[in-house]
Structure 1
């Protein structure tokens, strides 16, 4: 469905642009918040992403995965904004603060079990590094391919596969494999 709507947008259909905006604006906001950025900064960055998308629509026919393209655009935009705002330290010194909020649990489990599982899940996720949390989020929540994760995270494809594997291994070592199954089901 995304491919059809995106092609309509590229061909000049403004209603398709509105559909794309409405479908992805909240996901982009959640992703940006997970990266540790403030809501107001994110609103500006997301607006920039959609303005550039609209203005460059004719040159976007090579885009194969719209969600990935929007995530990458937002992250690049945020990193550019961060580079401008940081005078004295390298962008590599920026510490990942990636967090995940598990709203989907409300639909999957009974309320009395929710708090216990959320506590275990938060403990599990807190044992991962920010980059590992982000990679798990991109791979299992948004189902991005390893190639897309590699590009988004500025690493090789092999490194993205290793990072996912290491994060999963770390979660398994904590003997909470059932939480991993919940993550994979999303």
Structure 2
């Protein structure tokens, strides 16, 4: 069976009906996104991979009683975020997200594309500096919106904040990034 044309609802119906191939397809479809998202929290690949496996194993074990309200991707990101924070909190004995890595935000993405287009090493440094000026919450919101392609409503639920707060976080982040990049370019051309 070809799973590529199925909606998340159809795919979930097959998974909840014990279709292991559909479940494998969902792993193939979303595990790389989960791994990239995990890199925002830690560089420990083994921890990220363990959490992904645990989330998928838990989903398979609870497939009969689980109702996925929005999308499989959103469900997985929510479960993954909760589990990675819990795991890292246990490992590091801290509860905050101080370890949200700004360097990981520079992965193969739109921002990296801008850097390559400009073809300058300084551009990378300016962007990195600008990203460091964002709060952890801003970095996470930008990543979820532009790299994980979640809706503002999904981000709000995932981060436990209002949709209006998501809009504000993203707007202020983009404004800050744009301001830093434009000011640096104007400064260099003088």
Note the residue ranges of structure 1 that are not aligned, 5 or more in a row.
178-186
Tell me the equivalent position of 1:103.
108
Query: Using the alignment, how far apart are the partners of 1:172 and 1:108 within structure 2?
Result: 15
User: Could you tell me how far apart the structure 1 residues matched to 2:182 and 2:66 are?
Assistant: 43
- List aligned pairs for 1:124-135, cutoff 5 A: 124-135=130-141
Aligned length: 174
State the alpha-carbon separation in 1 of the partners of residues 33 and 72 from structure 2.
12
Q: CA deviation at 1:131?
A: 1.8
Which of 140, 143, 165 is the matching residue for 2:146?
A: 140
Aligned residue for 2:69?
63
1:16 maps to 22
Structure number with greater Rg is: 2
Distance 1:162 1:109, change over 3 A: closer
Alignment of 1:1-186 (within 5 A): 1-3=6-8, 4-87=10-93, 89=94, 91-92=95-96, 94-98=97-101, 99-104=104-109, 113-116=118-121, 117-176=123-182
Query: Which sits farther off after the overlay, 1-10 or 28-37?
Result: 1-10
In structure 2, the gaps of 5 or more residues are: 1-5, 184-190
Report if aligned partners of 1:36, 1:96 keep a CA contact under 8 Å in 2. Answer: yes
**TM score, norm. by length of structure 1:** 0.78
Task: Report the CA distance between 1:111 and its aligned residue.
Answer: 6.0
Any conservation in 2 of the 1:10–1:61 contact (CA below 8 Å)?
no
Show CA shifts across 1:16-70 (max 9, x none).
0111111222211111111125111112111110001111112233331221211
